[in-house]
């Protein structure tokens, strides 16, 4: 009731509300019991008389809050789940009515608090606390108190309000650990113990963005536990569900995409990292294989050496895989795999019980996929009949006669050749004063590499330079398996004229591997004016490539040294030759996306070379090669040097005609070469790509290039060039080398040009799929003030 002796009175439903705290702008009080009336008034009365200098004013007021307070009786009807691990972390949902009434709530499991996370009118969520192992198996009462009053359970079943602590779960393995990208849904089975201790187990799959290595995304999926608690089935997400992996990313991958799988078992994240093992399972999303079929009639296989070769693509995903099997007539593993390459599988039949002269079906089995290849027929090839002694005698007589005729013929030819040499001056096939072959390097004309030429003679002629390796170099090459015997190398037609001599197309037999590679063979003429110094320089520049191992850098396959044929450098054969010739050839139809992708390849290759402390010094489209699958590989390391080598040029090198229109101002002015000068050349290469090999600074004389650049003028933006790509070119052409980007940044920035064009497509002039032609701007200057 109202108390006139108090300066402050608060009544709720006519009964005094005992205040607990009283502040200038707030009163907290404890409500009296209700009288079965749901809604009552709140009355606040103030009777404060001035008594001293601190209380100078009389305050008399009374305020009524009509229906300001409502009495409720919260009740509990049930809960879920009724069990969880002793590690805690179980989300328990209490169901009832008016559960959000009152100001202070507490949930306990036995004597242990269950931390409240959410409260609504009809439910309350709390998280169980961890307990020690002594609680394992105990069923404890769950209680909810509101304002220190216990909320009753309306269920007559006592077990409806109990919670049982169970032993912690353990997960030991998952199967499968691989699945195809295209398969939906992916079903994963986990094996362990006490898996049924958790009512709602969750599998968490995490993938990482291919562009941002620190950007991760997780997707949770519920699992179903089998009876007994030792098996659990989960539905895994498709890669298409992850936003950090775009469709373009998926198409660009040529290797499995790795995901990390963990299991959220209430308060436990499994597996636990123990004994150096990571706290996750590794799962690989496999790409679809491409397996070539045998001809309809099948193939014949030697019964005595039953080796089978299977062609295709993306076989690198099979390396070290336990899911690969070669099946013959439905027998798994009947052909034992001995070698796997990206485009080839080699296997040997493991049994001699197969019938010969009858077809047998061969299939490639990978996981749950079967790829029919075709029929094989075992054939017992008959050895040739040995030659009898009488035949051998006749053959020997013929050989001796032929040799006599050959010796007489050679002697006669040498006699006439000596007479001719006395009256005819020697002929030099290659002038090595300019190793960039005349004006091609400096003027940007057609590249001579991999083109038909009459400037070389065949290997059987006299143009090859005799050469011998020193013992130390020979030992190094043999240790690295880079020295090949002459009989393994077959030279075909001349396909071009290089800096030191001729380039041949040929083949190289890999000894012991029953494999033949298509290669390019570079040779040195013996009439080079540099003599032995040219040979040593030729060898040195070939060995620069020895340790290169990158997709976008042309590697060295090996060397061949023969007393008669001299030094030969062996590299992979590039079907489309040099990039500049490919761009200029109107028969080719590269799209804008292809041209920008070529630029990405070069940036990645140069990033690799920069990491190895190498400076190229002659980066241009003519010095990049293009493979059959349109992958650019940086080549021509004739001007490359280790960045720490102080003496860049020998006396002969100083006569070299330099590619001035690709060189930076500091290279032209002071002879400085470093990674930043290569970046300048890269900008010119991008311009070559977008103009399909048009000569840079076409209207500027070589002698005027330096002044032109120092005046701040740069080449104009090609008409179809995206603005973002031209901005990258201008960054490469910064006069201050420190302001030029690194190749690592260029690889990312140029790639983003494609991404942005695909996403935004704001510039209506530009389409990534447009076919480019040679398109210099007509009647316009080639340069502009920046």
State the average pLDDT over residues 153-159.
74
Best mean pLDDT range from 342-351, 396-405, 442-451, 652-661 = 342-351
Q: Annotation-wise, does 72 bind a ligand? A: no
State yes or no: pLDDT of 374 exceeds 50.
yes
Please indicate whether residue 197 or residue 444 has the higher confidence score (pLDDT).
197
Asked if 298 contacts 308 with a C-beta cutoff of 8 angstroms, the reply is no
Nearest CA among 460, 449, 557 for reference residue 503:
449
pLDDT recorded at residue 419: 47
pLDDT tens digit sequence for 423-434: 333 332 222 233
pLDDT recorded at residue 186: 84
pLDDT tens digit sequence for 742-774: 999 999 999 999 988 887 654 444 556 655 554
Q: How many helices (H) and strands (E) are present in the chain, helices listed first?
A: 12, 43
CATH 2.170.190.11 fits 290-379, yes or no: no
d(CA 31, CA 668): 91
How would residue 205 be classed by pLDDT, with cut points 50, 70 and 90?
Answer: very high
Asked if 170 contacts 213 with a C-beta cutoff of 8 angstroms, the reply is no
How would residue 355 be classed by pLDDT, with cut points 50, 70 and 90?
Answer: confident
State the average pLDDT over residues 283-304.
86
pLDDT tens digit sequence for 460-515: 443 455 567 788 888 888 888 888 988 889 888 887 765 557 888 899 988 777 78
3-state secondary structure 633-699: EECCCCCCEECCCCCCCCCCHHHCCCCHHHCCHHHHHHCCCCHHHHHHHHHHHHHHHHCCCCCCCCC
Please indicate whether residue 328 or residue 437 has the higher confidence score (pLDDT).
328
pLDDT tens digit sequence for 542-572: 777 888 889 999 998 999 888 777 888 899 9
CATH 3.40.30.10 fits 170-286, yes or no: no
pLDDT tens digit sequence for 587-638: 898 999 999 999 999 999 999 999 988 899 999 999 999 999 999 999 876 5
DSSP labels, 555-599: PP-EEEEETTTEEEEEEE--TT-BHHHHHH-TT---BHHHHHHHH
State yes or no: pLDDT of 190 exceeds 60.
yes
Nearest CA among 119, 91, 121 for reference residue 105:
119
How would residue 352 be classed by pLDDT, with cut points 50, 70 and 90?
Answer: low
668 Cβ partners below 8 Å, 6+ apart?
A: 660, 705, 706, 709
State yes or no: pLDDT of 656 exceeds 60.
no
Asked if 147 contacts 28 with a C-beta cutoff of 8 angstroms, the reply is no
pLDDT tens digit sequence for 324-334: 899 999 888 88
Dihedral angle sign, alpha carbons of residues 686, 691, 692, 694: negative
Q: Which two tokens stand for residue 362?
A: 């061969």
State yes or no: pLDDT of 451 exceeds 50.
no
Q: For the chain, give every residue range classified as CATH 1.10.510.10.
A: 579-783
State yes or no: pLDDT of 214 exceeds 80.
no
State the average pLDDT over residues 676-689.
96
Cis peptide bond N-terminal to 81, omega within 30: yes
State the average pLDDT over residues 423-448.
34
pLDDT recorded at residue 552: 95
Mean pLDDT of the chain: 80
State the average pLDDT over residues 383-396.
47
Alpha carbon of residue 554 to chain centroid: 20
Give the global pTM. 0.43
State yes or no: pLDDT of 644 exceeds 50.
no
Q: Could you name the CATH architecture of 75-166?
A: Sandwich (2.60)
State the average pLDDT over residues 260-287.
89
d(CA 70, CA 51): 38
pLDDT recorded at residue 639: 40
State yes or no: pLDDT of 89 exceeds 50.
yes
Asked if 590 contacts 609 with a C-beta cutoff of 8 angstroms, the reply is no
pLDDT recorded at residue 386: 44
Q: For the chain, give every residue range classified as CATH 2.60.40.10.
A: 75-166, 170-286, 290-379
Q: Which two tokens stand for residue 176?
A: 């499968």
State the average pLDDT over residues 80-99.
95
663 Cβ partners below 8 Å, 6+ apart?
A: 677, 680, 681
Catalytic residues: 618
Fold of the 451-572 domain: Phosphorylase Kinase; domain 1 (3.30.200)
Residue 547: left if φ>0, alpha if ψ -120 to 50, beta else—which one? alpha
pLDDT recorded at residue 650: 32
pLDDT tens digit sequence for 508-540: 988 777 788 899 988 876 544 445 666 777 777
Q: For the chain, give every residue range classified as CATH 3.30.200.20.
A: 451-572
Percent of the chain with pLDDT over 90: 40
pLDDT tens digit sequence for 25-54: 788 888 888 877 688 989 988 887 767 766
State the average pLDDT over residues 181-200.
87
State the average pLDDT over residues 402-424.
54
Cis peptide bond N-terminal to 271, omega within 30: yes
Fold of the 579-783 domain: Transferase(Phosphotransferase); domain 1 (1.10.510)
């Amino acid at each position: 009731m109202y108390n006139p002796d108090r300066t402050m009175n608060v009544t709720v439903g006519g009964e005094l509300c005992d205040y607990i705290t009283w502040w200038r702008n707030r009163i907290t009080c404890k409500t009296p019991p209700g009288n079965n009336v749901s809604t009552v008034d709140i009355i606040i009365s103030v009777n404060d008389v001035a008594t001293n200098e601190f209380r100078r004013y009389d305050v008399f007021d009374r305020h009524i809050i009509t229906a300001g307070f409502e009495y409720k009786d919260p009740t509990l009807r049930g809960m879920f789940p009724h069990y969880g691990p002793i590690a805690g972390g179980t989300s328990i949902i209490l169901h009832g009515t008016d559960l959000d009434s009152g100001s202070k709530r507490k949930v306990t499991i036995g004597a242990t608090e269950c931390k409240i996370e959410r409260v609504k009118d009809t439910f309350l969520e709390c998280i169980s606390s961890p307990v020690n192992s002594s609680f394992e198996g105990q069923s404890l009462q769950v209680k909810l108190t509101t304002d220190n009053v216990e909320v009753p359970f309306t269920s007559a079943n006592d077990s409806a309000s109990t919670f049982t602590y169970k032993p912690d779960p353990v997960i030991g393995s998952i199967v499968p650990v691989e699945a195809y990208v295209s398969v939906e849904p992916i079903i994963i089975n986990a094996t362990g113990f006490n898996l049924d201790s958790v009512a709602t187990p969750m599998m968490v799959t995490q993938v990482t963005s291919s562009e941002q290595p620190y950007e991760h995304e997780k997707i949770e999926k519920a699992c179903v536990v089998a009876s007994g608690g030792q098996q659990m089935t989960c539905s895994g997400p498709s890669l298409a569900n992850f936003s950090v992996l775009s469709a373009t990313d998926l198409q660009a991958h040529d290797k499995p995409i790795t995901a990390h799988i963990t299991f959220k078992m209430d308060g436990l994240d499994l597996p636990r990292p123990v004994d150096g093992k990571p706290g996750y399972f590794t799962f690989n999303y496999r790409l679809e294989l491409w397996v070539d079929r045998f001809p309809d009639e099948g193939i014949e296989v030697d019964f005595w050496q039953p080796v089978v070769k299977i062609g295709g693509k993306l076989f690198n995903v099979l390396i070290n895989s336990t899911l690969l099997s070669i099946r013959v007539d439905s027998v798994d593993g009947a052909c034992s795999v001995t070698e796997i390459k990206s485009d080839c599988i080699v296997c040997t039949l493991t049994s001699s019980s197969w019938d010969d002269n009858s077809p047998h079906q061969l299939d490639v089995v990978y996981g749950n996929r079967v790829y029919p290849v075709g029929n094989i027929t075992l054939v017992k090839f008959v050895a040739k009949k040995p030659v009898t002694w009488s035949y051998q005698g006749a053959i020997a007589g013929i050989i001796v006669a032929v040799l006599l005729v050959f010796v007489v013929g050679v002697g006669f030819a040498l006699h006439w050749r000596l007479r001719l040499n006395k009256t005819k001056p020697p002929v030099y096939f290659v002038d090595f004063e300019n190793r960039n072959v005349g004006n091609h390097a400096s003027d940007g004309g057609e590249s001579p590499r991999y083109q038909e030429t009459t400037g070389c003679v065949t290997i059987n002629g006299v143009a090859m330079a005799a050469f011998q390796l020193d013992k130390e170099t020979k030992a190094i090459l043999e240790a690295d398996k880079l020295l090949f015997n002459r009989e393994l190398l077959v030279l075909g037609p001349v396909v071009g004229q290089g800096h030191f001599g001729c380039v041949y197309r040929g083949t190289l037999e890999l000894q012991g591997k029953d494999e033949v590679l298509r290669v390019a063979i570079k040779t040195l003429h013996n009439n080079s004016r540099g003599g032995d110094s040219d040979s040593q320089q030729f060898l040195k520049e070939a060995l620069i490539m020895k340790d290169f191992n990158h997709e976008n850098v042309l590697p060295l396959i090996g060397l061949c040294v023969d007393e008669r044929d001299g030094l030969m450098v062996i590299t992979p054969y590039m079907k489309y030759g040099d990039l500049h010739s490919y761009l200029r050839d109107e028969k080719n139809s590269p799209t804008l996306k292809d041209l920008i992708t070529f630029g990405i390849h070069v940036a990645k290759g140069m990033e690799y070379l920069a990491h190895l402390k190498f400076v190229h010094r002659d980066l241009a489209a003519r010095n990049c090669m293009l493979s059959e699958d349109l992958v650019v590989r940086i080549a021509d390391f004739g001007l490359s040097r280790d960045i720490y080598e102080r003496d860049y040029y020998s006396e002969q090198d100083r006569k070299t005609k330099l590619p001035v229109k690709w060189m930076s101002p500091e290279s032209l002015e002071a002879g400085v070469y470093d990674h930043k000068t290569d970046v300048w050349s890269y900008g010119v290469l991008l311009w070559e790509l977008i103009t399909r090999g048009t000569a840079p600074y076409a209207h500027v004389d070589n002698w005027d290039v330096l002044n032109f650049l120092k005046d701040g003028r740069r080449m104009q933006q090609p008409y179809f060039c995206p603005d973002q790509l031209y901005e990258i070119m201008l960054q490469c052409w910064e006069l201050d080398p420190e302001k030029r980007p690194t190749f690592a940044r260029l690889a990312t920035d140029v790639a983003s040009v494609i991404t942005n064009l695909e996403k935004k497509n704001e510039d209506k002039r530009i389409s990534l799929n447009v076919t480019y032609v040679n398109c210099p701007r007509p009647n316009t200057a080639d340069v502009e003030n920046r």
